[in-house]
Structures are given as C-alpha cells and as structure tokens.
Amino acid sequence: MGTIQIENVSFKYDQMMDNLFDSLNLKIDESWKLGLIGRNGRGKTTLLKMLLGQLKYSGQIVSNLNFYYYPQTVVNKDLLTVDVVKEITQLEDYDLWKIEVELDKLKVDQNVLQQQFSTLSPGERTKVLLAILFIDESGFQLIDEPTNHLDIEGRQIVAEYLKSKKGFIVISHDKSFLNQVIDHVISINRSDVSVYKGNFDTWQTQWELQNQTEAAEKEQLQKDISRLHETAVKRENWSRQTEAHKNRKQYHEKVHLDKGFIGTKAAKMMKKAKTAENRVNSAIDEKKTLLKNIEVEAPIQLNYEKKNHPDLFVQVENLTLRHNDIVTPEVSFEVKRNHVVALVGPNGIGKTTIFRQILGLSQPFTQEGSIRMANNLKISYLRQDNELEGTIRQLAERKQISPELVFSNLRKLGFERYLFDQPVEKMSQGQRRKVALALSLSESANLYFWDEPLNYLDVITRQQIIEAIQKQRPTMLLIDHDQDLIDAVSSVKVKLHH
Ligand SMILES: Nc1ncnc2c1ncn2[C@@H]1O[C@H](COP(=O)(O)OP(=O)(O)OP(=O)(O)O)[C@@H](O)[C@H]1O
Ligand SMILES: [Mg+2]
C-alpha cells in the first residue's frame, strides 16, 4: 500500500520571519479520505503545493503517488469545455468517455462539453474541474476548497461524489460537508500539526477536550487576554467616536472654524490611540504564544449607524432583469429597518445581478418592475469575489476609512500583524476575504449588501460574523449558500427559482 511520508519538513515564504512549517512529520496512507483543516493562513494550500513539488522546502517528502490539484488553472477560458479538458488531461478523443463517466456521476449535462468554458456557471466549472481530477483512478487528489460558490444542491452532489472515492485530501471550512466525506483529519493548529482518525465532529470533540485541559492549566493567561481585549475595544470605540466627530465637523460646520487646528488635534489623538493600541496588541500576542493551541478572538462589530433611519429601506416590486437569453425570476420584497433579508437560490439564478441592479451599478440588463430606495443611505457593499489589490492602507484610504480601524478589526479576525504591510495579492484566499470583510465592518453604513461573506473564511471567523449580526441586527441584504448562517441571522428569506 502506498504512503506519503513527510519527514522533518520546514518551510517559509521569503518575507516571513518565522517558519510556516517547522520540522513537520506526518505519515499518510494512500487510502485515507483526509480533511485538511485550520484557520486562514495557517498553510493548508501551501502544504498541498509542497506535496505537488511546487515549493522549495527543507527535509523530504517521500511518495510514489501521482498528485492532482484542484482548482487547476484554465489558461484560455474562451475554449470549448471539451478542449479545456483535453488541454489539462492530454486525453485523446477516443478516451473522452472517461470524463463523460465522471461528469455523469456529478450530474452534469454532457452538453456543457460543447459550451465555452467561460459561459459555465460557477457550480458547473467546479464540477468539470473535479471530474478532470478523477479520471486517473490511481491518482491521489489534492482538493482545495471545492465548496466555495457551490449552492446547497451542488455541495450535496460533490459530497456524494467524494464519498465514492478513496485516497484524497480535501480542504474545506464547511463542517457538514466534511462530516460526510472524510475519515481522517489533518489539523494545522497554532503551534503544531496533528492527525486524527474520524470526521470533523470526532475531531472537534477531541479538540475541545484537549483545549479544556490546556485552558484549565492556563486560566489566568486567558483572563489576562480577555481583559486586554476589552481595553482595546474601549479604546477603539473612543477613537472611532472622535473620528466620527471630526468628520461631522468637516462636513457640516458652516461657521468660522479653524479646521487646521481640529485636524491636528484629532491626528494627535489618533496617533496616541494607535500607540496605546499597539501596546495592547503586543501584550496580547505575547500572552497568546504561551497558550499553545487555544484560539482567543475578540467579538467583531459593524460600524453600523443607527440614527434617523427610515422604516423602509428598499422596496422591490415585480422585478425581472433580462439580457439576451438570461432572465431572472420575478421577485418582490422589502427591506425594513433592522431586517436581514436573505436572497436564496441556486447558482446562476441571478442573485448578484439583482444586488447590482438595486445598487445602481452598470450592467447590460433591461429592467421590468420597480426598485425604490430610501434617500441618503450609506451603503456598504461586500462583493462576492476577492477582487481587491494593493495594501490594506491604500484600500482603506481609497474608501476614506481609518486604516487603524481596519487593522483593529483584522486583529479581531485572527489576522497576523506582520501581514498588515503586505499587498493583498500575496495573501491566502481567506486572508483576502478577511480584508474585504474588515473594510465593510469598518465603513460607517446603515445598509449592508453582503454577497457570500463566508466564502473562504475559517470556522471561527464564521461564528464571529454570525454573532455580530445577531447582536447588532443591522439592516442587511444577504446572499450566502451556508445554511447555518442563513438560519441564524435572516429575518426574511426571499427564495428564487425558475
Ligand atoms: N506567494 C506567497 N508569497 C508570500 N506569502 C504567501 C504566499 N502565499 C501564501 N503566503 C502566506 O503564507 C501563509 C499560508 O498561506 P496559505 O495560502 O497556505 O494558507 P491557507 O491555510 O491555505 O489559508 P486559507 O484558509 O485562507 O486558504 C499565509 O500567511 C499567506 O499570507
Ligand atoms: Mg488556502
């Protein structure tokens, strides 16, 4: 039987201070169905790339298996899907039945092979790429977050599909998905990497037991950390108020006023607050290193403006959007104050298109029906894709948000500080998502449009988001395929179907 032996492997990216992996030792059997879990940025994707031999590390990885990675890069998306398949797999025409068999198991219509790859829905693309991965029966598949962007039905189909396979590593933050498909877990923790037999739930039970022991031993440390977090939150609220006050003055003050003076004073105060906050953060970091594997995170908060709100924010009546042969199903709904309205429906039905139309963003659709919006709303839009570029500071300044506030929110989301000056393009997928999320949290707003906020985010961050929405009850339009989130926060569900 084949194995993968990881012996004494250490690795870091160039600009990192510490090793991402430090003398890692693991033995994996080729028949295992492994779930690779861990918080964003812990090195899950990196570990798969090391197995593929794409990164230079010290130590050795011994294996005679053929590794295949999802998601593959599709260089030319304008090609017909069948040609994309041939390009990636090097299959000859007479062997194309192999892909047809896999597509069939994934419940994908064979006709997509004759369609341009770029015109496939996100769910179809995922399934085609997975089908390609499994045409070599003897291979060992490395599957990096297949569930993002998949609707509930799609997740179920992919889960069933993987259940029928053997010998793979899958990365996912979706607990119920993992529970169905895996029989072993590799967990990348704060201070080590461990392997467990069982599914996600089994892992979680053992993990919590282990944590309790550690926590009992280090109770005082945890108390200290919570107290420091509280100080940080207080300070941040205070500096946020000062900032808001400063902005109000700048916008509304018509009388004579020495703006220069207020500006300098506020800047000084901000600087002081920043120094103090840095001190608190260093203290938290220092104490955290003493707690080996426990994750300690402060609650997050939306910069939600509650004052003078209308009762009705958005009213959509008999809305249909058309472009060529795409037609969104007719919908009517209202977004009332403090309601979270969830748009739910399968991939490709037009949820994002409806969002963009309400937001008045340009797109080639003709509209039937009406959209009415209250006046003077401050809207924060979290887009579905990770499209951001540049440093966090640049992104914040572009949106006129205080970078300090964004940093402070990122810290609460478990973001390491050394990343603050990195360009977003160099970050892991989850870290990028956190930057987008932190920008939306920090922006002062009274209406939120959040399009699949949970994609790429780790389990702890998901929980933080759910708790923040439950606590603050912001007015929000929400799209997500995560059933837990929708059930936990939505006041109204708008179901879309053809
Ligand atoms: N090309 C790169 N150059 C520099 N640093 C990188 C690069 N790719 C990843 N990193 C950093 O290495 C760490 C591990 O990244 P990796 O993508 O492996 O994390 P991950 O566990 O897959 O996270 P996620 O859950 O967000 O996908 C992160 O801190 C990330 O910022
Ligand atoms: Mg990753």
Task: Answer yes or no: is the C-beta of 432 below 6 A from any ligand 1 atom.
Answer: no
- pLDDT on residue 165: 95
pLDDT in tens, 253-276: 444 444 445 566 666 766 776 777
pLDDT in tens, 52-72: 999 999 999 999 999 999 999
- Across residues 289-293, what is the average pLDDT? 65
Closest-CA residue to 132 (of 178, 70, 177): 70
- pLDDT on residue 291: 63
One-character DSSP codes across 344-401 = E--TTSSHHHHHHHHTT---S-EEEEEEEE-TT--EEEE-SS----S-HHHHHHHTT-
- pLDDT on residue 253: 42
Cβ atoms of 398 and 446 closer than 8 Å = no
pLDDT in tens, 357-408: 999 998 889 999 999 999 989 999 999 887 899 999 999 999 999 999 999 9
Rounded-to-integer distance, Cα 392 and Cα 404, Å? 10
| Six-digit token string for 402 | 């205080």
| pLDDT mean across residues, the chain | 89
Task: Answer yes or no: is the C-beta of 386 below 6 A from any ligand 1 atom.
Answer: no
- pLDDT on residue 475: 97
pLDDT in tens, 304-341: 998 878 899 999 999 999 998 789 999 999 999 999 99
- Across residues 73-93, what is the average pLDDT? 95
Candidate from 10, 12, 45 with most ligand 1 atoms within 8 A of CB, to mutate = 45
Rounded-to-integer distance, Cα 280 and Cα 240, Å? 17
- Across residues 219-238, what is the average pLDDT? 73
Task: Answer yes or no: is the C-beta of 41 below 6 A from any ligand 1 atom.
Answer: yes
Q: How does residue 251 score in pLDDT terms, banded at 50, 70 and 90?
A: very low
| Six-digit token string for 52 | 């593929």
Print burial letters for 191-217: b (CB count within 10 Å at least 16), e (below 16). eebeebebbbebbbebbeeeeeebeee
- pLDDT on residue 383: 94
Give percent of the chain with pLDDT exceeding 90. 67
pLDDT in tens, 185-197: 999 998 889 999 9
Count of beta carbons in the 10 Å neighbourhood of residue 104 = 12
- pLDDT on residue 247: 56
Closest-CA residue to 70 (of 141, 122, 147): 141
Distance from the alpha carbon of residue 147 to the mean position of ligand 2, in angstroms: 13
Lowest mean pLDDT among 92-101, 284-293, 420-429: 284-293
Cβ atoms of 39 and 100 closer than 8 Å = no
Rounded-to-integer distance, Cα 273 and Cα 238, Å? 9
Q: Point out the ligand 1 atom lying closest to the alpha carbon of residue 419.
A: 31
pLDDT in tens, 10-21: 999 998 888 999
| Cβ-based burial of 121 (10 A; exposed 0-12, middle 13-18, buried ≥19) | middle
| Cβ-based burial of 439 (10 A; exposed 0-12, middle 13-18, buried ≥19) | buried
Strand 312-323 to strand 326-327: parallel, antiparallel, or no bridges (unpaired)?
antiparallel
The pocket of ion ligand 2, defined by CB under 5 A, consists of 44-45, 428
Cβ atoms of 244 and 442 closer than 8 Å = no
Judged against a pLDDT cut of 80, whether residue 77 lies above it is answered with: yes
Q: How does residue 242 score in pLDDT terms, banded at 50, 70 and 90?
A: low
3-class secondary structure, 189: coil
- pLDDT on residue 294: 65
- pLDDT on residue 252: 45
